[in-house]
Amino acid sequence: MEVELTDSFFDNQSEEKPTGEVPNLDGTPGDGSGFNTDEGRLAAVMAYIPFLCFIPLLNMKHNEEARFHARQGVMLFLIELVAFLFLFERISQFVFTAVLIVAVAFSIAGIYFSLQGKNYRLPIVGDLADKSKL
């Protein structure tokens, strides 16, 4: 197919006929309406504001959409909290030192069990290794 300089990529997409459905984030078709009430929308917005994310999680037990956003908001809040803690040099140095000590201890344990001919699954590391596609 040869494209002329006057053709535009966006012009070619206008030939598609809209179906009226907006796909959901998981790829399944949906109508895009999402929430039935303004209360649900407000709860979903609050879910992404730090410290306010717990309000929809605790108070909106009947609204699945609000709870979905609240669970995501709580996870984001926890990630933000960990990132904030790493801004402090002493805390981040302590955490990285602790992780290094645990990694060395796991390596020594792996060598020890390998020399004995045993298959020992290391905590956390063994599960991650099983889930990976290595």
78: tokens are: 């926890």
Cα–Cα distance between 54 and 18 in angstroms, integer? 38
Cα–Cα distance between 53 and 31 in angstroms, integer? 26
pLDDT tens for each residue of 31-77: 444 566 777 788 888 889 888 888 888 887 787 888 888 889 899 99
Q: How many CB atoms lie within 10 A of CB 67?
A: 19
pLDDT interval class at 10 (50, 70, 90): very low
